[in-house]
Amino acid sequence: MTDRPALPEFVDSHCHLDFPDFEGQTAELITRANAAGVRRMVTICTRLRKEPAVRAMAEAHDGLFYAAGTHPMYAAEEPMVLVEQLVALARHPKFVGIGETGLDYHYTAESAAVQAESLRVHIEAARRTGLPLIIHSRDADADMARILTEERRVGAFSCVMHCYTSGPELAATALDLGFYLSMSGIAAFPRSTEIRDIFIAAPRDRILIETDAPYLAPPPYRGKRNEPAHVVHTARVGAEALGMTEAEFAALTTANFDRLFSKARI
Question: Whose CA is closest to 263, among 126, 82, 124, 83?
Answer: 126
Question: Whose CA is closest to 192, among 165, 168, 231, 223?
Answer: 165
233 among annotated binding-site residues: no
230 among annotated binding-site residues: no
122 among annotated binding-site residues: no
CA 135 to chain centre: 8
71 among annotated binding-site residues: no
14 among annotated binding-site residues: yes
136 among annotated binding-site residues: yes
The secondary structure of the chain, three-state, reads CCCCCCCCCEEEEEECCCCHHHCCCHHHHHHHHHHCCEEEEEEEECCHHHHHHHHHHHHHCCCEEEEECCCHHHCCCCCCCCHHHHHHHCCCCCEEEEEEEEEEHHHHHHHHHHHHHHHHHHHHHHHHHCCCEEEEEECCHHHHHHHHHHHHHHCCCCEEECCCCCCHHHHHHHHHCCCEEEECHHHHCCCCHHHHHHHHHCCHHHEEECCCCCCCCCCCCCCCCCCHHHHHHHHHHHHHHCCCCHHHHHHHHHHHHHHHCHHHCC
Residue list, annotated binding site for a divalent metal cation: 14, 16, 100, 136, 162, 212
Residue list, annotated binding site: 14, 16, 100, 136, 162, 212
